[in-house]
Amino acid sequence: MVLGAGRVGGSYARALERAGHTITAELHRGDDPSPIALADVVVIAVPDDVLGEAAGLVLRLARAGSVVVHTCGLAGIEPLADVGPLVAAVHPAAPIASNDQSLDGVVFGVTCPPALQDWVSAFVADLGGTCVFIGEHDRPLYHAALVMASNFPVALAGDAAEAVGDHGVLVPLMRAMVDNIAALGPDAALTGPIARGDVGTVRAHLAALPDHLRDVYVACARRTLARARSARHITAGQAAAIEEALGP
């Protein structure tokens, strides 16, 4: 059964049904929680901030021997410590936009006791995905990395769309960027004026941008410059010239 029948919970339920499992209940906040007592597996699909409350409800009602899984990204299994030994964090490393989104091909960040790894691997396979196992204390770093990779580029795309006037212009470019990262890895996929050491182009960009977007450009350019230098795309002299152009 699924506790928290929103986008993530609904997508888990549909994927498990397609794999042949029976979903005994999908509970929204305020629903009668008694179906928890009937479930062999309880999937807690609630926001991080209410995970403790949901875990307490499962602790009171779940039967002995049931497996309890939560879908939060930040937390590991510590919030489920009182529930029992058969617990796991199984977080989809993907933006879930609907309650029937396919999870095929998704990588799931998993934290669980070693004895449960085989069971969780099979559970994730039924969802349509694959596991990457994350240590309990590495969950915040894992989650921060996902936010950096998925949320920050969206904000940057908004800033770029503001500059160019139409986000549609950016979509083919960004799709190609993702394809290049998948094929080559991030550092090898790095392109553009900073990766070429083209200081004149950087100066022209800085002159064209309004103040609030110039600040964004400079911050991102400095990170791009650091990656370009570490990957040896540019010489020390080119890097120094770009650093000077970016200002203090």
pLDDT over 90 at 121, yes or no: yes
Contact 106, 93 (CB under 8 A): yes
pLDDT over 90 at 32, yes or no: yes
Question: How high is the mean pLDDT of the chain?
Answer: 96
pLDDT band at 5 (very low <50, low <70, confident <90, very high): confident
Residues 115 and 178 in one domain: no
End position of a domain, from candidates 101, 135, 169: 135
Q: Quickly count: other Cβ atoms within 10 Å of residue 24's Cβ.
A: 14
pLDDT band at 244 (very low <50, low <70, confident <90, very high): very high
pLDDT for res 248: 86
Residue with tokens 């790095």: 190
- The count of structural domains within the chain is 2
pLDDT for res 176: 97
Tell me the average pLDDT across 41-53: 95
Range of the domain at 41: 2-135
Residues 202 and 168 in one domain: yes
The proportion of the chain whose per-residue pLDDT surpasses 90, expressed as a percent, equals 97
Q: C-alpha angle with apex 58: 56 to 60, nearest 5 degrees?
A: 70
Residues 187 and 210 in one domain: yes
- Classify residue 59: in a domain, yes or no: yes
Side chain identity, residue 240: A
pLDDT for res 90: 98
Q: Is 227 exposed, middle or buried (0-12, 13-18, 19+ CB in 10 A)?
A: middle
Residues 181 and 63 in one domain: no
End position of a domain, from candidates 135, 158, 185: 135
Residues 128 and 195 in one domain: no
Give the dihedral of Cα atoms 49, 54, 56, 57; nearest 10 deg: 160
